């Protein structure tokens, strides 16, 4: 993509309404634009990141054995009356009346709808277990939408639902999702700490929140520092082996806590030696729930068991805030000058900066780099604009592409280009050929 043609409406001024770094940076970098309170348009740069995050979530859900589907955003009120949540949900639910005076709502979550679908279509224990998910926009009429996409009213969520014949099966599904969450967030370059959580309006018996460390986060985090060093991606995960899943989870939950309760601090001090105590703040990016028969009983999700008896199915639900993750990643990965995208979610892999557009040698070298990187499968942003170098560097820092290749008249005379990483780990002058080889070999994350 040539930057001169890319739709990238960056802002010079820092927007006054933005209280936290991610919100400021997303507006300044032209990633999103607010349409109304808590509702955003995703501009091309932001949309690219959203899509990459969504794809990692999808791959890890599939890997864990879940199957993708797509339920609508608009749901009939009737299914929520069956579960009893239509009245309980309160003013956060956006209620809609259609032209026939039928009551509808914009879904805040999908337990009811999926249970209704399941109850109508599955009859036998032979069809179990099942894990079904979708990635769809949700609406919650939050009293105080804030922090940009982190607490929006409309937001993109992955929600998965598990159906099992018995409690043991349900726990197995919970563990698969738990481990897939650890892998999902690690692939995005994040440290996400699982914390035992209260179940809230979804109800049920067992729940964990996954909290990404960031000083501006709304959740308190207590954990053993050793948990921060576990590299889950290096573990050989076998979703068919329940014991192995349990072992991975145990390593992460050696120290956990109910985030909002006072007794935690005391427990924490009792169980973790002082030198290993980590206390910080973080952002909730996902939550998993086991809630048994809370929805299957009122909604009649029943199958015939192996002995011919009717069995009410055991369920769990598993959410990831896909749009919130964009903000959470920026909170975790930025400096004073802008965003520092982890490779795996970056909107482009490489940015080429032409310091002197119009100079024949510079233009030729840039075009060669642009073409070769693209044929090596890289997403490339080429800053071919007629702007001062200072403006280009400032914009490159702001939008945070992981690799940068700077091509200018002085370097080109000696056959050199500058190759840099936005995170500061590489800053080299090398030949164009060497730079291209190194970029071609760089993992995409
Ligand atoms: N208002 C919101 N804006 C953006 N993301 C949200 C919002 N509410 C929830 N999410 C995301 O969806 C995930 C699953 O939602 P859930 O746990 O049901 O929400 P909550 O914790 O607000 O009750 C959360 O972990 C969070 O990442
Ligand atoms: Mg939650």
Confidence of residue 189 (pLDDT cuts 50, 70, 90): very high
The Cα 256–Cα 208 span in angstroms is 9
Same domain as 353, residue 334: no
Atom of ligand 1 nearest to the CA of 285: 27
Same domain as 248, residue 187: yes
Q: Which of 278, 308, 339 is the last residue of a domain?
A: 339
Tokens read off for 211: 């909290």
**Residue 184 in 3-state DSSP?**
helix
Same domain as 352, residue 329: no
The Cα 236–Cα 339 span in angstroms is 32
Atom of ligand 1 nearest to the CA of 210: 25
Confidence of residue 215 (pLDDT cuts 50, 70, 90): confident
The Cα 259–Cα 128 span in angstroms is 34
Domain that holds residue 369: 348-441
CB 337 within 8 A of CB 25: no
| Residue 65 included in any domain | yes
Nearest CA to ligand 1 atom 15: 319
Q: Which of 339, 357, 387 is the last residue of a domain?
A: 339
Confidence of residue 12 (pLDDT cuts 50, 70, 90): confident
The Cα 198–Cα 194 span in angstroms is 13
CA distance readout (Å), 264 to 61, 221, 272, 344, 426: 32, 10, 12, 34, 42
72 pLDDT more than 90: yes
Which of 225-239, 341-355, 413-427 bottoms out in mean pLDDT, i.e. has the lowest? Answer: 225-239
Q: What is the CATH number of the domain that holds 87?
A: 3.30.930.10
Q: What is the pLDDT of residues 324-340, one digit of tens each?
A: 999 999 999 999 999 99
- 98 contact partners, CB below 8 Å, separation of at least 6: 104
Tokens read off for 240: 């068919």
Alpha carbon of 198 to ligand 2 centroid (Å):
9
Nearest CA to ligand 1 atom 12: 321
Same domain as 309, residue 372: no
380 pLDDT more than 70: yes
Same domain as 396, residue 314: no
Q: What is the pLDDT of residues 27-50, one digit of tens each?
A: 999 999 999 999 999 999 999 999
| Residue 13 included in any domain | no
Tokens read off for 302: 């029943």
242 pLDDT more than 80: yes
Q: Measuring from each residue's beta carbon to the nearest atom of ligand 1, which residues come in under 6 Å?
A: 109, 140, 142, 151-152, 155, 157, 200, 284-287, 319, 321, 323-324
% of the chain with per-residue pLDDT over 70? 95
- 108 contact partners, CB below 8 Å, separation of at least 6: 89, 92, 93, 94, 138, 139, 140
CA distance readout (Å), 64 to 60, 165, 184, 304, 322: 6, 19, 11, 26, 18
Ligand nearest to the CA of 283: 1
Nearest CA to ligand 1 atom 9: 321
- Residue 421 has φ and ψ, to the nearest 5°, of -105, 145
| Residue 192 included in any domain | yes
200 pLDDT more than 80: no
pLDDT at 202: 65
Nearest CA to ligand 1 atom 18: 319
Confidence of residue 428 (pLDDT cuts 50, 70, 90): very high
Q: What is the CATH number of the domain that holds 358?
A: 3.40.50.800
pLDDT at 223: 86
| Residue 48 included in any domain | yes
The pLDDT of 304-326, averaged and rounded, is 98
Q: Which of 295, 320, 339 is the last residue of a domain?
A: 339
Ligand nearest to the CA of 151: 1
Instruction: Report the chain's mean pLDDT, rounded to a whole number.
Output: 94
Nearest CA to ligand 1 atom 7: 151
Identify the residue with better confidence: 269 or 229: 229
Identify the residue with better confidence: 199 or 19: 19
Q: For residue 238, what is the DSSP state?
A: -
% helix, strand, coil for the chain, step of 5: 40, 30, 35
pLDDT at 197: 85
Ligand nearest to the CA of 197: 2
Same domain as 374, residue 239: no
Ligand nearest to the CA of 326: 1
Same domain as 276, residue 168: yes
| Residue 8 included in any domain | no
Confidence of residue 268 (pLDDT cuts 50, 70, 90): confident
The Cα 300–Cα 312 span in angstroms is 7
| For helices 167-187 and 44-63, angle between their N-to-C axes, nearest 10 degrees | 140
Q: What is the pLDDT of residues 99-112, one digit of tens each?
A: 999 999 999 999 99
Atom of ligand 1 nearest to the CA of 286: 25
Confidence of residue 150 (pLDDT cuts 50, 70, 90): very high
| Residue 232 included in any domain | yes
The Cα 300–Cα 293 span in angstroms is 10
Which of 5-19, 118-132, 263-277, 283-297 bottoms out in mean pLDDT, i.e. has the lowest? Answer: 263-277
65 pLDDT more than 60: yes
411 pLDDT more than 70: yes
260 pLDDT more than 90: no
Q: What is the pLDDT of residues 50-63, one digit of tens each?
A: 999 999 999 999 99
Alpha carbon of 109 to ligand 2 centroid (Å):
11
pLDDT at 266: 67
Alpha carbon of 135 to ligand 2 centroid (Å):
16
pLDDT at 443: 74
| Residue 37 included in any domain | yes
157 pLDDT more than 70: yes
Same domain as 313, residue 389: no
Q: What is the pLDDT of residues 20-31, one digit of tens each?
A: 999 999 999 999
Domain total of the chain? 2
Identify the residue with better confidence: 166 or 279: 166
The Cα 384–Cα 370 span in angstroms is 11
Same domain as 233, residue 104: yes
Q: Which residues of 322-353 are buried (b: 16+ CB within 10 A; e: fewer)?
A: bbbbbbbbbbbbbeeebbbbbbbbbbbbbbbb
265 pLDDT more than 90: no
The Cα 241–Cα 65 span in angstroms is 13
Alpha carbon of 108 to ligand 1 centroid (Å):
9
Which of 22-31, 49-58, 186-195, 221-230 bottoms out in mean pLDDT, i.e. has the lowest? Answer: 221-230
Same domain as 398, residue 255: no
Same domain as 417, residue 359: yes
pLDDT at 263: 57
Tokens read off for 161: 């639902």
| Residue 16 included in any domain | no
Same domain as 331, residue 402: no
**Residue 113 in 3-state DSSP?**
helix
């Amino acid at each position: 993509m040539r930057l001169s043609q890319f739709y990238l409406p960056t802002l010079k001024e820092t927007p006054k309404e933005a209280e936290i770094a991610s919100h400021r940076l997303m507006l300044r970098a032209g990633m999103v634009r607010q349409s109304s309170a808590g509702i955003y348009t995703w501009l091309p740069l932001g949309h690219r990141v959203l899509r990459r995050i969504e794809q990692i979530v999808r791959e890890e859900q599939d890997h864990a054995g879940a199957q993708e589907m797509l339920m609508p955003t608009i749901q009939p009120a009737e299914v929520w009356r069956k579960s009893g949540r239509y009245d309980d949900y309160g003013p956060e639910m956006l209620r809609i009346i259609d032209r026939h005076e039928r009551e509808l709502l914009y879904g805040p979550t999908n337990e009811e709808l999926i249970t209704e679908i399941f109850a109508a279509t599955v009859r036998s224990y032979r069809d179990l277990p099942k894990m079904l998910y979708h990635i769809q926009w949700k609406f919650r009429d939050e009293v105080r939408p804030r922090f940009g996409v982190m607490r929006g009213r409309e937001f993109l969520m992955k929600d998965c639902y598990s159906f099992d014949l018995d409690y043991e099966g349900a726990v197995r599904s919970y563990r698969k999702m738990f481990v897939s969450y650890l892998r999902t967030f690690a692939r995005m370059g994040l440290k996400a700490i699982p914390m035992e959580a209260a179940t809230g309006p979804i109800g049920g018996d067992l729940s964990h929140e996954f909290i990404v460390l960031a000083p501006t986060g709304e959740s308190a985090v207590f954990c053993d520092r050793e948990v921060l060093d576990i590299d889950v991606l290096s573990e050989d995960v076998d979703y068919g082996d329940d014991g192995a899943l349990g072992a991975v989870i145990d390593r992460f939950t050696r120290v956990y806590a109910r985030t909002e309760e006072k007794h935690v601090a005391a427990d924490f001090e009792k169980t973790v030696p002082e030198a290993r105590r980590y206390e910080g703040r973080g952002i909730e990016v996902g939550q998993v729930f086991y809630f048994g028969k809370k929805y299957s009983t009122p909604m009649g999700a029943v199958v015939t068991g192996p002995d011919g008896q009717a069995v009410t199915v055991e369920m769990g639900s598993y959410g990831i805030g896909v749009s919130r993750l964009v903000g959470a990643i920026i909170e975790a990965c930025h400096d004073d000058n802008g965003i520092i995208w982890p490779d795996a979610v970056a909107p482009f892999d490489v940015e080429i900066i032409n310091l002197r557009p119009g100079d024949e040698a510079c233009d030729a070298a840039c075009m060669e780099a642009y073409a070769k990187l693209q044929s090596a499968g890289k997403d490339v942003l080429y800053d071919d604009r007629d702007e001062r170098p200072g403006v280009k560097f400032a914009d490159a820092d702001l939008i945070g592409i992981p690799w940068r290749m700077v091509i200018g008249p002085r370097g080109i005379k000696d056959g050199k280009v500058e190759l840099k990483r936005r995170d500061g780990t590489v800053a080299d002058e090398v030949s164009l050929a060497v730079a291209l080889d190194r970029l071609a070999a760089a993992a995409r994350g």
